[in-house]
C-alpha cells in the first residue's frame, strides 16, 4: 500500500516547518498535536516541494513502518526525527493525558520577561498563572516557562497558534507540561565521541531502547553544518537515563570505530563563579544599554537604513539622545516603557497572533493589540505593537511598512499622538 493512498490520520509530535503544507485550517506548517493526513505529507515529501532535511527520509520510513505494523500508540519518542505517531487524536496521546491547561514553553529568547510571556500567551485566552523560570542566583532567564490557562481549549489553541513562533533568533516550542515530579528531573544526557556521520535519528534509535526520548540534538559546526560529534538526549525519566548510561557509555555504536561517552549533562544554570562574574560584569545588557552602547547601536542602525533605503532613519532620536526618557518630550512612538508602533490596514479577522508573528522576529516585543469593534468584535483595521528597543522597532518598521498581508498592503510606522490611541 502506498502512503499516498492512505487516508489515515496521524498526530504530529513536533513543530515541523513545511511551508507548502496546507491543512484544512490553512496552516502552513505541521504543528504539535495537529492531526495530519499521511497522504498529504507523503506526497509533499515525495514531490520534493518540501525541502529535504536530514530527517525527511526517516519520516517516510517511520510512516511506512507504522503502516505495515498497523496502529499502535507507543510513543517511544517525540523528537523531530520521529514526528508522527499513529494515535488518531491528541486526546489519545500519552504526552498530554495528564494536563490540558498547563503548558511548558521552551526556547524563549534570553531577554524575554515574564510579563512579555504573559502578554504573548494572554492574547490567546485567560491565563490562570504564568511563570518564567529564572536562575535563582543570577535572576537570568533559563529560557523556558510555564503558562497555565483557565480553559483547556485555550491551551490547545496556544499550541496550535504559538508553537514554532519565531521570536528574535529563537523558535519557541509550546507543548503540554508533564506533571512535575522528581522522576522526570535530571534526565538529560551528554553524549560525546559520536561518529561524525551519525544522524539525529540514528542517535535516537541507539538510545530509544532505554526509554522515551523527549528531545535529542546533535551539535553541528555553525559554518559547515558538520556534526561536532557531541549531542544531548533527554529522557522522560531519570531512571531511563541511568539505564542508558549503564548500557551505552564506553560502547561502540553499530559500525563505529570508537566508543562513545555517555554521562549526565551539566545543568546549564550551574556555572562557575568565574563564569557568573564575567557574565554579570562583561556582557552588556541588551535591554538597558548605556548611552555609549545606545549611540553605537543607533550609528550602526542609521548606516544600515541608509544603505538599505537611502534615507536617514527619520525618527532617530540621535539628536536628542540621552533625554528620551524624560517626561514631556514628544517623540513619535515613544511610550514610556518602549516604542509603540502603529499598524494600519489589517483585515477584519486579524488577531494578535499575526502581530506577534510579524514583529517577534525583529526583537523584544512587550505587547500587541488589535483594535476591535465593540459590537462585532472584528478588527477595525489597525493595531499597535510595543517593542523595547528603538533599533529593533525601526528595523521592523522599515521591513514591514508596505508588507503585503493577504490582499492588503500594511502601513507601519511609529505611533504619533495625532493618530489613534492604544
Under rule CB under 7 A, residue 118 binds DNA: no
Under rule CB under 7 A, residue 180 binds DNA: yes
- Of the residues 100, 131, 286, 369, which one makes contact with DNA according to CB under 7 A: 131
Q: Between vectors from CA 402 to CA 351 and to CA 362, what angle results, nearest 5°?
A: 65
Under rule CB under 7 A, residue 144 binds DNA: yes
Bridge partners (DSSP) of residue 147 are: 103, 130
Shortest Cβ 192–DNA spacing (Å) = 4
Shortest Cβ 217–DNA spacing (Å) = 7
Under rule CB under 7 A, residue 237 binds DNA: no
Under rule CB under 7 A, residue 195 binds DNA: no
Under rule CB under 7 A, residue 49 binds DNA: no
Give the residue with the Cβ less far from DNA, 211 or 332: 211
Under rule CB under 7 A, residue 143 binds DNA: yes
Under rule CB under 7 A, residue 219 binds DNA: yes
Give the residue with the Cβ less far from DNA, 130 or 340: 130
Shortest Cβ 320–DNA spacing (Å) = 35
Give, to the nearest 10 degrees, the angle between helix 352-359 and helix 390-400.
Answer: 110
Phi and psi dihedrals of 107, rounded to 5? 60, 45
Phi and psi dihedrals of 148, rounded to 5? -110, 115
Under rule CB under 7 A, residue 245 binds DNA: no
Secondary element (H or E) of residue 261: strand 261-264
Under rule CB under 7 A, residue 179 binds DNA: yes
Under rule CB under 7 A, residue 188 binds DNA: yes
Under rule CB under 7 A, residue 242 binds DNA: no
Under rule CB under 7 A, residue 112 binds DNA: no
Phi and psi dihedrals of 266, rounded to 5? -65, 150
Q: Between vectors from CA 271 to CA 282 and to CA 242, what angle results, nearest 5°?
A: 155
How far is residue 299 from each of residues 230, 264, 312, measured CA to CA in Å?
Answer: 40, 45, 11
Binding mask 145-174 for DNA (x = CB under 7 A): -x-x------------------------x-
Query: Torsion over CA of 296, 299, 303 and 306, rounded to 10 degrees?
Result: 150
Give the residue with the Cβ less far from DNA, 173 or 334: 173
For 359, other C-beta atoms within 10 Å of its C-beta total 25
- Of the residues 23, 106, 357, 413, which one makes contact with DNA according to CB under 7 A: 106
Under rule CB under 7 A, residue 276 binds DNA: no
Under rule CB under 7 A, residue 263 binds DNA: yes
Q: Which residues contact residue 228 at a Cβ distance below 8 angstroms, ignoring those fewer than 6 apart?
A: 218, 219, 220, 221
Shortest Cβ 376–DNA spacing (Å) = 35
Secondary element (H or E) of residue 153: helix 152-162
Are 96 and 160 contacting, i.e. CB atoms less than 8 angstroms apart?
no
Shortest Cβ 104–DNA spacing (Å) = 5
Give the residue with the Cβ less far from DNA, 110 or 306: 110
Query: What DSSP string runs through 282-330?
Result: HS--TTS--HHHHHHHHHHHHHHHHHHHSS--TT-GGGGTT-TTSTT--
- Of the residues 201, 234, 298, 415, which one makes contact with DNA according to CB under 7 A: 234
Among the residue ranges 158-166, 265-273, 281-289, 351-359, the one whose residues contact DNA (CB under 7 A): 265-273
- Of the residues 69, 72, 266, 419, which one makes contact with DNA according to CB under 7 A: 266
Residue 382, classed as helix, strand or coil, is strand
Shortest Cβ 110–DNA spacing (Å) = 6
Q: Taking the CA of residue 358 as centre, how many other CA atoms within 13 Å lie in the half-sphere pointing to its CB?
A: 30
Extract the C-alpha cell encoding 324: 528620551
Contact residues for DNA (CB under 7 A)? 78, 102, 104, 106-107, 110, 129, 131, 133, 135, 140-144, 146, 148, 173, 175, 177-180, 184-185, 187-188, 190, 192, 214-215, 217, 219, 228-230, 232, 234, 263, 265-269, 271
Amino acid at each position: 500500500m502506498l502512503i499516498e493512498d492512505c487516508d489515515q490520520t496521524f498526530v504530529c509530535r513536533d513543530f515541523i516547518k513545511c511551508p507548502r503544507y496546507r491543512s484544512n485550517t490553512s496552516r502552513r506548517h505541521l504543528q504539535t498535536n495537529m492531526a495530519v493526513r499521511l497522504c498529504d505529507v507523503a506526497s509533499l515529501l515525495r514531490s520534493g516541494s518540501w525541502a529535504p532535511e536530514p530527517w525527511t527520509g526517516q519520516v517516510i520510513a517511520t510512516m511506512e513502518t507504522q503502516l505495515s505494523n498497523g496502529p499502535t500508540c507507543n510513543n517511544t519518542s517525540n523528537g523531530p526525527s520521529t514526528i508522527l505517531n499513529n494515535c488518531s487524536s491528541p486526546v489519545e496521546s500519552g504526552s498530554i493525558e495528564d494536563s490540558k491547561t498547563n503548558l511548558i514553553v521552551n526556547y524563549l529568547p534570553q531577554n524575554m520577561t515574564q510579563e512579555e510571556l504573559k502578554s504573548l500567551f494572554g492574547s490567546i485566552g485567560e491565563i490562570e498563572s504564568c511563570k518564567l523560570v529564572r536562575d535563582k542566583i543570577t535572576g537570568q532567564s533559563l529560557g523556558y516557562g510555564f503558562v497555565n490557562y483557565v480553559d483547556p481549549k485555550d491551551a490547545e489553541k496556544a499550541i496550535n497558534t504559538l508553537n514554532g513562533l519565531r521570536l528574535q533568533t529563537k523558535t519557541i516550542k509550546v507543548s503540554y507540561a508533564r506533571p512535575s515530579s522528581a522522576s522526570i528531573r535530571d534526565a538529560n544526557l551528554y553524549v560525546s565521541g559520536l561518529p561524525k556521520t551519525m544522524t539525529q535519528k540514528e542517535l535516537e534509535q541507539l538510545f530509544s531502547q532505554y526509554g522515551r526520548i523527549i528531545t535529542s540534538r546533535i551539535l553541528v559546526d555553525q559554518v559547515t553544518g558538520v556534526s561536532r560529534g557531541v549531542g544531548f538526549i533527554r529522557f522522560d525519566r531519570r531512571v531511563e537515563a541511568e539505564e542508558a548510561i549503564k548500557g551505552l557509555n564506553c560502547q561502540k555504536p553499530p559500525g563505529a570505530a570508537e566508543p562513545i561517552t555517555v554521562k549526565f549533562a551539566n545543568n546549564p544554570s550551574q556555572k562557575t563563579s568565574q563564569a557568573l562574574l564575567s557574565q554579570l560584569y562583561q556582557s552588556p545588557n541588551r535591554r538597558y544599554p548605556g548611552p555609549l552602547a545606545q549611540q553605537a547601536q543607533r550609528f550602526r542602525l542609521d548606516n544600515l537604513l541608509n544603505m538599505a533605503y537611502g534615507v536617514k532613519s527619520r525618527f532617530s532620536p540621535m539628536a536628542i539622545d540621552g533625554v528620551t526618557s524624560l517626561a514631556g518630550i514628544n517623540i513619535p512612538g515613544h511610550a514610556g516603557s518602549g516604542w509603540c508602533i502603529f499598524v494600519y490596514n489589517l483585515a477584519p479577522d486579524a488577531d494578535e497572533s499575526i502581530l506577534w508573528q510579524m514583529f517577534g522576529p525583529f526583537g523584544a516585543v512587550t505587547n500587541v493589540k488589535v483594535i476591535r469593534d465593540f459590537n462585532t468584535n472584528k478588527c477595525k483595521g489597525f493595531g499597535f505593537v510595543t517593542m523595547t528597543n528603538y533599533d529593533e522597532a525601526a528595523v521592523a518598521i522599515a521591513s514591514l511598512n508596505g508588507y503585503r498581508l493577504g490582499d492588503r498592503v500594511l502601513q507601519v510606522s511609529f505611533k504619533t499622538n495625532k493618530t489613534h490611541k492604544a
